[in-house]
Structures are given as C-alpha cells and as structure tokens.
Structure 1
C-alpha cells in the first residue's frame, strides 16, 4: 500500500490513526536477510520495485514475490522461467506468465492506462525483447502499439504504419543484426526514440555488439540507446517519457 492510499483510507475513516502511523513508521526498506525490499521506491520514483527472476533461488523468489504482492497488490517479474512460474502459481493461481517475454506478473484489474508508446521490431526474432518492453510499459500504465517485423530489408512495411509511430509520445526500436531500424525511425519522428539492440544475428553480430555500436553511432538525432536485450529498461524509460508528455498536455 502506497502513502497516498494510506492517507486516503485515513481520511475516509477506513483506517485508524494508529494503523496509519504504523504503516508510515516502517523503514524505507524491508530487510529479509538475503534481500532488502525497497518499499519506498514507488514513493520516490513513481515505480514500484520489480523482481529480476533469473538466477534467484526458489525459496527467495517465492518470499520476495509474496512480500511485494502484499505491499502493492500487484507484482512484475522479468526473465522468469517456466519452472519459476509453476512455483509461484502454486501459491498465487492468478499469476500470469508469458513464455515469449518471460514476464511473470499479477496485475490490478481495471488499471487506467495513459498516453501512447509505439514498440517496433526489425524482425520477429526481436519480439521477445520487444514484448518485455511493451508489457513493462503496460504494467506501469502506458498504452502500447505493437508494430513488429518492419525492418530495413522491407522499408515499405515501416512506412505503412508511420502514422501510428509518429503519433506516439515515445518510440522503442528493437533490432538485432546491424541495428539500422533505430536510425531510420529517428529520422522520421519528432518524439524520443529508445533504441534496444538485441543479440539476434550471425557471427559478426557478436551477440548484439554490432547492433549496439550502430545505434550508438547513429547520425539521426533524438535517439537514446539501452543495453543489449534490455527490454525492461526500455519499457520503464518509455513510460517516464510518456508520463511527462501526458502531464504537459502534449500527449494523447
């Protein structure tokens, strides 16, 4: 429960002064020994803590998931495996898992979404990273348009959706191989482009390094580059930009 919810419940008589005080006296993090859950992160940044599931021990993941769910009423986990999903599902049958993006989540019903983000991929092999970005942005309250398989080998496919891309408050361009998609989009839109290189490609792609270098060296303006395969980071930053656009009255 965040600070605003606590204050509203106290104001409406749904929570006593003592209960509200007990919530607000909590430390800004909860020390679990193996993890320190940042319970004040949403208050500071506007985004609640997210679980990076890969590599976590089952017992740790289960307890972290439970604590965050009890705190926020929803949880987002990234890079989760099918076995981790099955583990969490035993206690939380409502949990959702996407095998493409490896997103594991429980989301509040009826969540309001704002603005507009376009998530584009060069090819279908880039979709797992793009879906991580898209579902992260949706979880944090953004509307997302998915425009997949519009890479430079068939540029007419991109042009056919240009009206949607240009109307977005932020564009996420996800590409492997040589990573040219971000440069092309960057020259066609007025709003920020977040470029995400993927590890998709043949030998000289060097697990995404070639796409990363292309994006960093782009001559198109307004492009910011994230780490290789970092869909979550792109979805997070795109939401920040989207929120600013809506707040300033320029977004849809």
Structure 2
C-alpha cells in the first residue's frame, strides 16, 4: 500500500463508501504478507517513499513470479525484479504480463539455462512511474562497467528518471573525460561506475557541483581484487563528499540518487 492508496482508503471510510471491516482487513496487510517463503513489506513506500524490490538470486522462478504478483496487488507504484535470470524473467512475465525487461546491451543469454555473471542479469520493471524532469548522468569508465551502469539506469527508469549515459571515459584516456565535463557538470546527480583503480569517481567529483554516487565494479586485472581496490580507492578519495555503494551495486546507487532527487523536489511525502 502506498500513500495515495492509504489516503483513498481513509477517505472512503470517512465518506461511508468503504465499510470499516473492509478497511480493517486491508490494513492488516500493511506490516507484511507471507508469500512463497518471503515476507513482503507492503508499507515500505509509506515509510521511505519507495517500494521494496525483489532480488532474484536465491529464489526459484515460481517464487519470483508469486512475489511479484503479490507486490503488484498490494500497491499502485513501480515493482522491480532485479538480477533476474532468464527463467525467473520468463516465469514472472507469464504470471504478470506487462513488465519491461532491461538487459545490458549485447549481453542477453542465448539460452534459459546458460550460466551468466550476476551483473549480466535482467532488471524487470512493472508499472514504471511517469517521467520526471531531473537529469541523472550515469558515467562509466569502460565498456566492462556497462552491465552495472545499465542496472542503475533501469532502476532509475522505474521511477520516471531517464538516465543519460556517458560511456568509456576512464582516465587512461584523459581526453575522453575532458570532452564530457560540460555534460557531467550540468547533471542533478552523477552516478560514476568504475572498476580497475576507480579513479574516475575522484575526477568527476572534482569538477561537478552535483552529488556524486560512486559504484566500484569487479572489472579489472589481478590487483583489482574483484572490485575491492576500486571500492577502497573511492572511499579514500581526496574529492570530498563522494557517496560510495557496494561493488557492482547499480541498484543501490540508483536508489541513493532517487532519495536525493525526492528530497530536492520535496516529494518525500511517503515518510511517516
């Protein structure tokens, strides 16, 4: 249940069009609903302004389908299934048609049982919100960082924000970065996605006034340590004020951006 649904329910009780027993039955669902071994947090959007998302790994296709169906029935806002395998995507769309599937470009698995890297999995969005005016730039250091950047862009799209991609501007080719400074500096929020040594986040945060959310990725050779080097470098950045999320966490970066945008727009009315 989201803010508007709760307001409509209370208005219906006040007007006498919704019986008190019916309102009570619906309010009992607010804390959570138990479905397919999961406890669905139906009132998270009331507290934070954004709904819970469904994390695909570790769940069977049928579990994903049942959880998505429950979430769609319990609110009117966007519903997201993240890091979904082909089988999870297929089952969820069969049970709940109308979802938009977002996959990293040119990386769609060839078969439903193909083993894929977690960052190559799909983000599926049902009931995306209407378009918003804010500009979020998602800047990636290299094409290997593309899947994580794509996840961030897909999550932003669920909430009506069209991410502007700026790709392959890693600092090994400084001229490529310098060519995009005007684009970066005009954004409301910049999400920086980088592996290797993660230096791009410091460079961006040193030239833009907007909040910078840094996402270390697992791309890189031996001493990159599957993203740990980039993670530590971003935390140790000499550019003040960078926000750093976990390795390969495009979802977390997008949700951090949404909290910033909602606060700036004065639309964090979901919090009670």
TM score, norm. by length of structure 1: 0.89
Residue in 1 aligned with 2:240? 221
Residue 17 of structure 1: how far off its partner (Å): 4.1
Q: Distance in 2 between matches of 1:110 and 1:230?
A: 22
Residue in 1 aligned with 2:60? 57
Q: Distance in 2 between matches of 1:14 and 1:147?
A: 54
Q: Distance in 2 between matches of 1:91 and 1:59?
A: 9
Q: Aligned to 1:23, what secondary structure does the other structure show?
A: helix
Residue in 1 aligned with 2:25? 22
For 1:161-240, what aligned pairs fall within 5 Å after superposition?
161-240=180-259
Which ranges in structure 2 are unaligned for 5 or more consecutive residues? 105-119, 268-272
Deviations 1:157-207 (A, max 9, x none): 222222221122211110011111001001101122111110001111111
Residue in 2 aligned with 1:4? 4
Residue in 2 aligned with 1:157? 176
Residue in 1 aligned with 2:112? none
8 Å CA contact 2:148–2:248 kept in 1: the answer is yes
8 Å CA contact 2:219–2:226 kept in 1: the answer is yes
Greater CA deviation, 1-10 or 158-167? Answer: 1-10
8 Å CA contact 1:169–1:245 kept in 2: the answer is no
Q: Aligned to 2:192, what secondary structure does the other structure show?
A: strand
Residue 10 of structure 1: how far off its partner (Å): 6.2
Q: Distance in 1 between matches of 2:133 and 2:24?
A: 32
Residue in 1 aligned with 2:92? 88
Q: Distance in 1 between matches of 2:200 and 2:16?
A: 52
Residue 226 of structure 1: how far off its partner (Å): 1.0
Greater CA deviation, 136-145 or 205-214? Answer: 136-145
Q: Distance in 2 between matches of 1:7 and 1:96?
A: 29
Q: Distance in 2 between matches of 1:47 and 1:80?
A: 20
Residue 232 of structure 1: how far off its partner (Å): 0.5
After superposition, the CA RMSD in angstroms is 2.3
Greater CA deviation, 216-225 or 230-239? Answer: 216-225
Name segments (4+ residues, structure 1) moved above 6 Å.
Answer: none
Residue 139 of structure 1: how far off its partner (Å): 1.2
8 Å CA contact 2:35–2:70 kept in 1: the answer is no
Which ranges in structure 1 are unaligned for 5 or more consecutive residues? none
Q: Aligned to 2:208, what secondary structure does the other structure show?
A: coil
Q: Distance in 1 between matches of 2:26 and 2:187?
A: 39
Tell me the number of residue pairs that the alignment of Structure 1 and Structure 2 aligns. 248
TM score, norm. by length of structure 2: 0.83
Question: Residues 104, 121 of structure 1: CA spacing in aligned structure 2 closer, same or farther, 3 A cutoff?
Answer: closer
Question: Residues 188, 48 of structure 1: CA spacing in aligned structure 2 closer, same or farther, 3 A cutoff?
Answer: same
Q: Aligned to 2:239, what secondary structure does the other structure show?
A: coil
Q: Aligned to 2:214, what secondary structure does the other structure show?
A: strand
